[in-house]
Amino acid sequence: MPTYYSPSFGASRYGSATAVEQDERLKFAYADFVNHDVAGQGILKLIWLPYRDIIIHPRLSTFGSSAYTASADIHLGVRYVNPDTDVEVYAPTLWLDNVDGGSAQTVNQWGQVTGVVAGGLVPAANRFHTKNGLAIEAMVDTADMPLNGTLYVGVFYSTI
């Protein structure tokens, strides 16, 4: 399955955000992805948060998409390295699982999207201790995301 990067992913990874700017204030990261490649399935790397200790606030965060191919499924989750074991943790359906991509998803809070994973809204599931940062990723499977298909994610988070 191919991997695609949103323009925001590189900007947040190599931009002005640094791991030394940690505080408990609420922050916001936004990414939109427009598929300029051929229609297909794949992993979309949307946002990179370059912090070691992160709390995601899913009930405030937003998600939306244009209409994808009928029966396309959209998933939303995380990827990071556990600093204690040096093992990559990949949870592709932490927040959203099998969201219907066949119809446009209006930008809405994660808890109000059909396909939300209830366990992903629990505060304990949204505190991450990472080696070098956290990637927020979407995955499209079962059917294709169309050429020029879009996906939007807004994430509220804090660092501790």
- Tens of pLDDT, residue by residue over 4-15, are 667 666 544 433
- What predicted TM-score, i.e. pTM, was given to this entire model? 0.83
d(CA 68, CA 150): 9
Domain residue ranges in the chain: 31-37+70-160
- Tens of pLDDT, residue by residue over 73-113, are 889 999 999 999 999 999 999 999 888 888 888 778 887 87
Three-class DSSP labels, 13-69: HHCCCCCCCCCCCCEEEEEEEECCCCCEEEEEEEEEECCCEEEECCCCCEEEECCCC
Instruction: Flag whether pLDDT at 130 surpasses 90.
Output: yes
